[in-house]
């Protein structure tokens, strides 16, 4: 079931990314986050009722849930600040080092065994990041900092998902999704109170910072359907990702997140007329290849010996 949940969640993420980029020219990020989390919370409470009702929201690990929520907020802010000014496929490709980071972080945090071949695949994946970053090239279309933002977001996302696996032992997926949505709401309201009038955006030239700091505006009628779509996908994302990493081994689930990469390229081409450069294609190939290798090795490690019954409880 973990693989099913991660696939549904990644499809929802891809649609969510496209809609945020679609609205990024007129609305601040924190306003869109508020709208999608407020709507998404309604769907999330539906999942809570399905999994046992409000009683499952009780936890003895509120601090860990708060930290997990901060990680996912930082991951989102870093990634979407990049998406606003660079091709969706390229930003997604850089962000997709996250599954490799999850594989590495699973060693010290979860105690999951990861052998030298899989660690070598991680090195290959980060080589793909370097190819797309092109540090040897003096003239780049976007700033080095902007190119680094998806990788920074990937780091926070990896920490968040590893914590999901750790908390999932005692916490339902829908409960974790409620804590996540709640964190998004609190952070977006704080942004509104501090910077909602747009005063910090005055004179700012960096497009990513403008996206983070511009003033809130009342949505145009034609944008409401997109905002509702953001809320719907947000509800799916929060539940499905939590369920995936709660019910399956982190190193097994993580590589399936790569289905989001061709989806991002497709959205970029269809919606924004973007087509990846040769360096992006090469980097994508290295990152995807590394992720698939990690997945294959994980499956080999889990394969039971002939004549013995499988002891792997979750498939």
Nearest to residue 37, comparing CAs of 168, 242, 195, 183?
183
Distance separating alpha carbons of residues 202 and 125, to the nearest angstrom:
39
Q: 137 by DSSP, 3-state: which?
A: coil
Domain assignment present for 314: no
Q: What is the pLDDT of residue 227?
A: 92
Residue 116, burial from CB neighbour count under 10 angstroms (0-12, 13-18, 19+):
exposed
Q: What is the pLDDT of residue 185?
A: 93
Confidence band, pLDDT 50/70/90 cuts, at residue 305: very low
Which of 101-105, 141-145, 281-285, 310-314 is most confident?
A: 281-285
Confidence band, pLDDT 50/70/90 cuts, at residue 137: low
Domain that includes residue 191, residue range: 2-301
Is residue 302's pLDDT more than 60? Answer: no
Nearest to residue 89, comparing CAs of 290, 291, 278?
278
Domain assignment present for 88: yes
Angle at 156 between CA 298 and CA 269, to 5 degrees: 80
Report in angstroms the alpha-carbon separations of 157 from 49, 75, 109, 161, 241: 27, 5, 15, 6, 11
Domain assignment present for 93: yes
**Residue for token pair 């539906």:** 46
Average pLDDT, the chain: 82
The count of domains in the chain is 1
Locate 124 and state its tokens.
């290959």
Q: Which residues contact 63 (CB under 8 A, 6 or more apart)?
A: none
Domain assignment present for 174: yes
DSSP state of 259: G
Distance separating alpha carbons of residues 102 and 298, to the nearest angstrom:
13
Domain assignment present for 309: no
Nearest to residue 47, comparing CAs of 208, 184, 189, 235?
235
Nearest to residue 147, comparing CAs of 92, 212, 73, 74?
92
Domain assignment present for 92: yes
Domain assignment present for 313: no
For residue 160, the number of C-alpha atoms closer than 13 Å in the C-beta half-sphere is 26
For the residues 151-178, what does the mean pLDDT come to? Answer: 78
Confidence band, pLDDT 50/70/90 cuts, at residue 32: very high
Question: 190-225: per-residue pLDDT in tens?
Answer: 999 999 999 998 888 888 888 989 999 999 999 999
Domain assignment present for 121: yes
Question: 264-292: per-residue pLDDT in tens?
Answer: 999 999 999 998 888 889 988 998 888 77
Nearest to residue 312, comparing CAs of 298, 299, 302, 297?
302
Question: 35-88: per-residue pLDDT in tens?
Answer: 999 988 888 888 888 888 888 888 777 787 888 888 988 998 999 999 988 899
Is residue 115's pLDDT more than 80? Answer: no
């Amino acid at each position: 079931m973990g693989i099913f949940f991660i696939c549904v969640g990644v499809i929802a993420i891809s649609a969510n990314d496209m809609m945020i980029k679609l609205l990024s020219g007129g609305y601040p990020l924190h306003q869109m986050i508020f709208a999608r989390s407020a709507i998404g919370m309604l769907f999330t409470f539906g999942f809570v009722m399905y999994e046992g009702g409000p009683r499952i929201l009780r936890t003895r690990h509120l601090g860990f849930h708060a930290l997990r929520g901060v990680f996912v907020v930082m991951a989102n802010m870093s990634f979407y600040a990049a998406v606003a000014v660079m091709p969706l496929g390229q930003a997604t490709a850089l962000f997709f080092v996250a599954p490799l980071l999850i594989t590495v972080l699973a060693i010290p945090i979860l105690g999951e065994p990861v052998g030298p071949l899989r660690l070598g695949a991680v090195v290959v994946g980060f080589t793909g990041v370097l190819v797309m970053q092109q540090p040897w090239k003096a003239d780049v279309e976007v700033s080095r900092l902007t190119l680094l933002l998806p990788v920074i977001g990937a780091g926070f996302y990896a920490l968040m998902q590893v914590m999901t696996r750790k908390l999932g032992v005692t916490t339902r997926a829908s409960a974790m999704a409620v804590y996540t949505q709640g964190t998004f709401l609190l952070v977006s309201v704080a942004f509104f109170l501090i910077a909602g009038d747009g005063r910090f955006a005055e004179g700012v030239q960096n497009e990513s910072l403008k996206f983070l700091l511009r003033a809130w505006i009342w949505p145009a009628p034609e944008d409401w359907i997109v905002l509702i779509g953001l809320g719907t996908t947000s509800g799916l994302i929060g539940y499905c990702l939590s369920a995936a990493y709660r019910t399956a081994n982190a190193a097994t689930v993580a590589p399936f997140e790569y289905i989001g990469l061709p989806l991002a390229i497709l959205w970029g081409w269809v919606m924004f007329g973007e087509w990846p450069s040769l360096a992006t294609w090469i980097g994508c190939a290295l990152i995807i290849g590394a992720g698939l290798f990690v997945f294959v090795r994980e499956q080999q490690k889990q394969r039971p010996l002939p004549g013995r019954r499988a002891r792997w409880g979750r498939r």
